[in-house]
Amino acid sequence: MNTIFKTDFNLPGLISKYEGKVRDVYSLENDILVVISSDRISAFDIVMPKPIPFKGQVLNQISVDMLKSTEDIIQNWLISSPDPNVSIGRKLKPIKVEMVIRGYLSGHADRLYRSGKRSICGVNLPNGLLSNQKFDNPIITPSTKADFGHDEDISKSDIIKKGILTLDQYEEIEDITYKLFERGTEIAKNRGLILVDTKYEFGYDSKNNLCLIDEIHTPDSSRYFYIDTYEDHMNRGETPKQLSKEFFRQWLIQNNFQGKQGQNLPEISDNVVMDVSKRYIELFEKISGSNFKPRNSNDIISDLKMNIISAIS
């Protein structure tokens, strides 16, 4: 299909290009960033060899909407979105910490808990918790933001001890993280979803003002359950129906792959690719409340470049 796996544009005023797991980030003159959401998918910090149709469009459009819906809480990096897969914004000084916030014991935290850990990123958890159980109050389990390789869990005390942030800086970011999660939870609830967990990234502008950067509340950065079936699934001891890429991680685990040394990546069939694509589209429609309109393009790469150049010229 007409997907975006890699871009290589020589844009006007180009200074550098960074290729992340999912996004291609072009740094231009005047501290402008052009961020292209590709159709790459990663799991266990490894980029899979096959792109997922429409995934980048879903991520970008959800994130643009969510950034706009939280501007009253904190300013953000976004200037415009001239293409379904593109966001253009301000280049800020990023904080090398991801603020992961969890309302439920799921995913990475649940795997650690099942392995016997009762302290995650300095947060102590009681015995007897069930997988996917709601916490009495959301918890923050930060991770270091790695340029390459794996992100690492880190505690609040270690963030301050290592000089990554001062106590005042951390507490400001912590407060905003709770507020953003509350807003995301409210938006999700209105759409019949539970925002299970998510992560936020921050940076400082030239005047040292705190800003929200990157994507928010997308299926790559967040996990969602359906409200109407959550209790029934939990009462039956089943995993709640969810909208995120966790199901793809679980598929990899079931096929004996967690990104560990010596493990071979299983063959990802076209059926699996299309199933993942449908999940992303489903989440878009649930969280936005509107029908997904796939981009109509015979040459998506050429359209990307044309729309970017028109926006920055």
CB 140 within 8 A of CB 170: no
Residue span(s) of the chain under CATH 3.30.200.20 come to: 14-91+252-312
* pLDDT tier, 186 (very low <50, low <70, confident <90, very high otherwise): very high
Mean pLDDT of 125-153: 89
pTM exceeds cut of 0.85: yes
Residue span(s) of the chain under CATH 3.30.470.20 come to: 93-235
User: Is the pLDDT score of 148 beyond 60?
Assistant: no
Burial 187-226 (b: 16+ CB within 10 A, else e): bbeebebbbbbbbbbbbeeeeeebbbbbbbbbbbbbbbbb
pLDDT in tens, 75-112: 999 999 999 999 999 999 999 999 999 999 999 999 99
Assign 147 to helix, strand or coil: coil
CATH ID of 93-235, from 1.10.3720.10, 1.10.10.10, 3.30.470.20, 3.40.190.10: 3.30.470.20
- pLDDT recorded at residue 1: 64
Residue ranges in 46-191 assigned as alpha helix (H): 55-69, 107-114, 156-161, 167-190
- pLDDT recorded at residue 150: 62
Q: Any idea which fold 14-91+252-312 has?
A: Phosphorylase Kinase; domain 1 (3.30.200)
Q: Which residue has the higher pLDDT, 41 or 250?
A: 41
**Mean pLDDT, the chain, integer:** 94
Per-position DSSP letters for 183-232, written without gaps between them: HHHHHHHHTTEEEEEEEEEEEE-TT--EEEES--SSTTTEEEEEHHHHHH
- pLDDT recorded at residue 249: 86
- pLDDT recorded at residue 283: 82
pLDDT in tens, 60-74: 999 999 999 999 999
